[in-house]
Structure 1
Amino acid sequence: MSEYLKRGNLLWEGSRMMLPEHKQAIRAQNEQEKRVEAPLLDEQELEELGIIAMESLSYALPVHVVYWEDGYYRKLIATVERVDEQQKRVTFRVSEECSMPINIRSLKSMERI
């Protein structure tokens, strides 16, 4: 038997390939595995978020916000512009012309800067 055939699996190594559909499916599966569930906060955490939000609203202090959106956590630095208790939303002022409403149930954490 020749040395070429004794190399084990290397004989078939050149015939392996990945179709674009396979690559796309692998990427989609990896993205799906990175997704996280929406946060569930208890009463104490909600109260702490409320205190920080009201301080930011009263004194225009910037806060670092982590919130959940479509399976991923997003980060934001802004000031609280409005707290709507009926619709359970907090509106953050990101820049002079841009404000962003976020559902209270989507908030994970809020820290003073």
Structure 2
Amino acid sequence: MNDHLKRGNLLWEGSRMFLPEHKQSLLERKRLKQKLQKPILDPDKLEEMNQTLCAAMEFAQDITVSCFQDGEIVCCTGKICRYEEFEKAVWIKGDEDQLYKLKLDQVLDIVL
């Protein structure tokens, strides 16, 4: 066997380099694949959420709201402190006085 054929895996050694940019792009691709599609709510569910929202505002009850944001479902818990009809948004005051502004078109579920 010739000496140049006994070099082992040296021919491919240069391609083993993995830059931080490569890792970042692979993680970004994985995150994009895991994103969810926004579900479409039927009118009955919208009416049920509207009634729950009105009851929570009237009696100042704690609610848990599930929202769709950036391909993920996020849950917020607290009391409704403000409802903005023109912007179609709800402000929820959570634990430790955190304020959440939730757009109503992103809301998936409201539970007392």
Query: TM-score band (shorter)?
Result: 0.7 to 0.9
1:48-74 Cα offsets, whole Å, 9 max, x none, are 111111111112211121101222211
Aligned residues: 104
**Hey, what does 2:103 align to over in structure 1?**
103
The 3-state SS of whatever aligns with 1:39 is: coil
State TM-score, norm by structure 1.
0.75
In the alignment, the residues of structure 2 paired with residue 18 and residue 47 of structure 1 have an alpha-carbon distance, to the nearest angstrom, of 53
Please tell me the residue identity of whatever aligns with 1:89: A
Report if aligned partners of 1:63, 1:77 keep a CA contact under 8 Å in 2.
yes
**Hey, what does 1:33 align to over in structure 2?**
33
Q: Percent identity?
A: 24
1:14-69 Cα offsets, whole Å, 9 max, x none, are 94443322211110101111222333222111111111111111122111211012
**Hey, what does 1:5 align to over in structure 2?**
none
- Runs of 4+ aligned residues of structure 1 deviating over 6 Å after TM superposition are none
Report if aligned partners of 1:79, 1:92 keep a CA contact under 8 Å in 2.
yes
Note the residue ranges of structure 2 that are not aligned, 5 or more in a row: 2-7
**Hey, what does 2:43 align to over in structure 1?**
43
In the alignment, the residues of structure 1 paired with residue 17 and residue 48 of structure 2 have an alpha-carbon distance, to the nearest angstrom, of 54
In the alignment, the residues of structure 2 paired with residue 97 and residue 82 of structure 1 have an alpha-carbon distance, to the nearest angstrom, of 14
Report if aligned partners of 1:39, 1:106 keep a CA contact under 8 Å in 2.
no
Please tell me the residue identity of whatever aligns with 2:84: D
* 94-103 or 64-73, larger mean C-alpha shift: 94-103
Please tell me the residue identity of whatever aligns with 2:52: I
**Hey, what does 1:65 align to over in structure 2?**
65
In the alignment, the residues of structure 2 paired with residue 108 and residue 61 of structure 1 have an alpha-carbon distance, to the nearest angstrom, of 19
Note the residue ranges of structure 1 that are not aligned, 5 or more in a row: 2-10
